[in-house]
Homo-oligomer: A and B are copies of this chain.
Amino acid sequence: MNNHNSARPNKAMNLEDIAAKAGVSRSTVSRVINNEPYVSPKTRAKVEAVIQEEGFTPNPAARTLVTQRTKAIGIVIPHILNAISGDDAYFSTLLRGITEVTTQRDHATLLWLEHTNDNEESFRRRILQNRMMDGLIVASAATNDPLFKHLIEAGRHFVTVERPNQFQEYTNYVTVNNVAAAQTAVEHLIGLGRRRIATITGNLNISDGEDRLIGYRNALEAAGIPYDENLVIPAQFNRNQGYLGMKQLLNRNFDAIFAANDAIALGVIQAANETGHRIPEDFALVGFDDMNIATQLKPQLTTMRQPVAEKGARAADLLIDLIEGKLESPQRILLPTELIIRASCGAKAVEARE
């Protein structure tokens, strides 16, 4: 059904073919397709009918060649090993949020994952040289990733989903206030009477991890609780690190843990099951993210919710707005977080006792 096109066998139709069939010129067809004015209703209808009939779609390469726009954006994940270390839904959720918007705004989405076997520089070059995208969303980059410098120098549009700690004046981002959110989470534990509060951190070379640790310290300081480095386990954003972190804490006298994300909290629960610690009786636990799994654990997880899919969606929207010139850099968007109180922090037990 594709080739009523006797003149050009085996080739997709082009504007010229449609024009011939509709009895108009190529320019008119172009005008119809791009919804330009100055086409008589009658002509427009005729042309649209032919387009419909032939299922015609303009050749994007030809279009790109003249418009300099590809209608595609890229997602760059430099720190892939950390981002998808296995059991964490964060990455998938982010992708879902991003593609929801790119779909809706008629853009394609290119995926760039850094692999362990290609070095940082060749990865960067590949992205910088690729001209099939109008802009980039960068996720899970180390805070000092040189990629940013190059993107800025090349004048590329880009948005991150983490707080940048360099080039703030050039960097657009969508994130949450990790410092404040972590502080609130830890203050909640303090409010429940916990004093020996440990934390298992996320990757500290990613600003999400860094900031949540700062929030933890802020909360302790505000409450006049001395900082004890024995209660701080530097780790990474995944379940196994949570598991190992909990094992390290075992003999260190603590009564609560702030896990830098839910995957870590899951590992903690698992380790606690093995060692016979009860949550929240023996220690309280608070996570971060509020992924699906939080409600499927026993005990159900108290956690700081952040809107991950929305973060992706807003980043995509922002990026496309920048590309289309609707906004100027830098744009900074902070999405709200919310403490979701469930069983693992022991709040309800405390309530009941009161």
Q: Point out residues on A near B: beta carbons under 8 Å.
A: 1-2, 12, 57, 59-62, 64-65, 70, 72, 75, 80, 84-87, 89, 91-93, 95-96, 99-100, 103, 108-113, 115, 117-118, 126, 129-132, 153-154, 239-240, 243, 267, 270, 273-274, 291-293, 296-298
Contacts and interface: CB of A to CB of B under 8 A. Distances in A.
Contact of A292 (B60, B62, B87, B293): B87
Contacts of A99: 111-113, 115
Contact of A65 (B59, B85, B270): B59
Contact of A108 (B64, B87, B132, B240): B132
Contacts of A297: 270
B129 A243 contact: no
26 contacts: A12-B131, A60-B130, A60-B131, A61-B70, A61-B131, A61-B132, A84-B89, A84-B92, A86-B293, A87-B87, A95-B111, A99-B112, A99-B113, A99-B115, A100-B115, A100-B117, A103-B126, A108-B130, A110-B110, A240-B292, A243-B296, A270-B296, A270-B297, A270-B298, A273-B273, A274-B298
Contacts of A92: 84, 86, 91-92
A113 B118 CA distance: 27
Contacts of A91: 92
Contact of A57 (B110, B113, B129, B153): B129
A91 B108 CA distance: 19
